[in-house]
Amino acid sequence: MKLLISSVLTALAVAMTPVMAQDYPSKQITIVVPYSPSGSSDPVARFLATELQNRWGQNVIVDNRPGAGSTIGTAYVAEAPADGYTILLTTSAYTTAPAVYEDLPYDPLAMVPVAMPSESPFVITVGSQVKATTVEELAEESKTRDLFLATAGLGSSTHFAGELFTAATGANVEPVHYKGGTEAMVDLIGGRADIYAGSITAVLGNVKAGQIRALAVMGAERAAALPDVPSTEELGIKGASSGFWLGVFAPAGTPDDIVQKLNKEIVDVFASDGGQEFLTKLDSKAVAMTPAEFKELVDTEVAQWKKLAEERGIKAE
C-alpha cells in the first residue's frame, strides 16, 4: 500500500512539473544580489528586473543582501524554495570563493547555473608610481623593488585574475586585500598599491583620466574601449585569459522547464537592441549561453581556481 501511494505521488509530481513551468511566473520574482547597491552587478540586476517585469507582467524586485564576500546572499538563495521565484545574480567571484573557503554555507556546484547576462575581460592596470609601460617591463621592475597587487578581497575574482597574470608573467608581487574594488582603486591612484586587475567597467574612467595606466587586456583580443592596449595572447603570454562575468543562478532542484524559460528570457533581454545598448555603456557584452554551457564554464572555473590556489598558496587565514 505504501509503495502504491509513493508511486502515485511520484507520478503526480512528474505530471505537475510541466504545468508549473507553463504557468510560471504567476507571482513576484526576487533577484537577490549578494552585494551592496553600489556594486557593479546592481545596475544589471535592476535593468533585468525591469525588463522581465515588462515582459511577464509580474513584479520583479532586486533584493541586495551583501556581506561575507557575497556568501550571505548566495546562501539565502541556495536555501530558498526551488521554484524559480528567488534567483541569484552574482559575479564571477562565485567560482573563485570555493578555492579559498572550504566551509561555504552552500555547495557552489549544486546550485543551478541559469544564464550569463554579460562578461568583459579583466585589464591589468598600474599606478603612476610604476615606471613600467609594458608587461615585460613590469616583470623586470618587480625584480628590483617590492610591488603590491591590490585586490577587491581575498578570494575575489580580481585577486585570482591578478594571481593568474603574475603567475603567467613571472612578476614578483605581494597581494594586498581590500574590502572592495573601490578601496583598491583609491590606493592604486594614491600610490599605496601598484597593480590592479579590474574589469573594464571598473578601470576605464580612471584610465581615461590619466590616473592609472592599462598595460594589457587579459584575453585573446583587444577591447573596443581600449583599442591601444594589447591583449595578453597578442603579447604571447599563455594562460592569462580571465574575464569578469555576471551570472544568474537558481536553487538546486529548480525544474528544468523553469530554468530553460528563465534562460530564454534573460538571453533575449540582453540580446535586444536595448540590452546591447545598456551593456555597451558598461563596456560589457551579452553572452548567449545555455544553462548546460554555463554549468560547464562554472565547473571548469571552480576546478581551475582551486588548482591555482594550491599552486600559489592562496588560502583563508
Q: What's the CATH number where 132 sits?
A: 3.40.190.10
Residues 125 and 211 in one domain: yes
Copy the grid coordinates of residue 7: 508511486
DSSP one-letter string for 187-240: HHHHTS--EEEEEHHHHHHHHHTTSEEEEEESSSS-BTTBTTSPBTTTTT-TT-
110 and 176 assigned to the same domain:
no
Asked, for residue 280, whether it belongs to a domain, the answer is yes
Same domain, 112 and 254: yes
Q: Are residues 133 and 156 in the same domain?
A: yes
Residue 164, domain member (yes or no): yes
Residue (of 53, 57, 44) closest to 88 by Cα position: 44
Looking at the fold, whether 54 and 75 belong to one and the same domain comes out as: yes
Spell 53-66 as b/e; 16+ CB within 10 A means b. Answer: beeeeeebebebbb
Given this model, what pLDDT does residue 2 score? 42
Looking at the fold, whether 188 and 253 belong to one and the same domain comes out as no
Q: What is the pLDDT of residue 127?
A: 97
- Among the three residues 217, 252, 269, which one is the final residue of a domain in this structure? 217
Distance in angstroms (rounded) separating the CA atoms of residues 111 and 156: 19
The answer to whether 244 touches 154, Cβ cutoff 8 Å, is no
pLDDT of residue 20: 58
DSSP annotation of 153: S
Residues 98 and 79 in one domain: yes
Q: Find cell 548567449 and name the residue.
A: 288
**Domain at 65, CATH number:** 3.40.190.150
Partner residues linked to 147 by β-bridges = 173
Q: How far apart are CA 164 and CA 57, in angstroms?
A: 44
C-alpha triplet 91, 151, 186: angle, nearest 5°: 110
Give the whole-angstrom CA distance, residue 24 versus residue 269: 17
* β 112-127/195-199 pair status: antiparallel
Q: Is residue 9 part of a domain?
A: no
In a domain, 233, yes or no: no
Is 21 inside any structural domain?
A: no
Residue partners of 142: CB distance under 8 A and separation at least 6 = 171, 172, 173
In a domain, 197, yes or no: yes
Q: How many domains does the chain have?
A: 2
Check residue 231 and report its DSSP letter: B
Choosing from 168, 202, 217, the residue where a domain stops is 217
132 plus 279 within the same structural domain: no
pLDDT of residue 210: 96
The answer to whether residues 253 and 111 belong to one domain is yes
Do 55 and 93 lie in one domain? The reply is yes
Q: In this structure, what C-alpha cell is assigned to residue 135? A: 608587461
Q: Which three cell numbers, joined as nine digits, stand for 65?
A: 543582501
Give the domain range for residue 151: 120-217
pTM, entire model: 0.86
Q: Which of 158, 182, 217 is the last residue of a domain?
A: 217
What does pLDDT average to in each consecutive run of 10 residues of the chain (317 residues)?
47 51 91 88 95 97 90 96 98 94 92 96 96 97 96 92 95 92 93 95 93 97 94 95 96 98 98 95 92 97 96 87
Collapsed DSSP state (helix, strand, coil) of residue 205: helix
19 within domain boundaries: no
**7 within a domain of the structure (yes/no):** no
Same structural domain for residues 124 and 201? yes
206 and 248 inside one domain: no
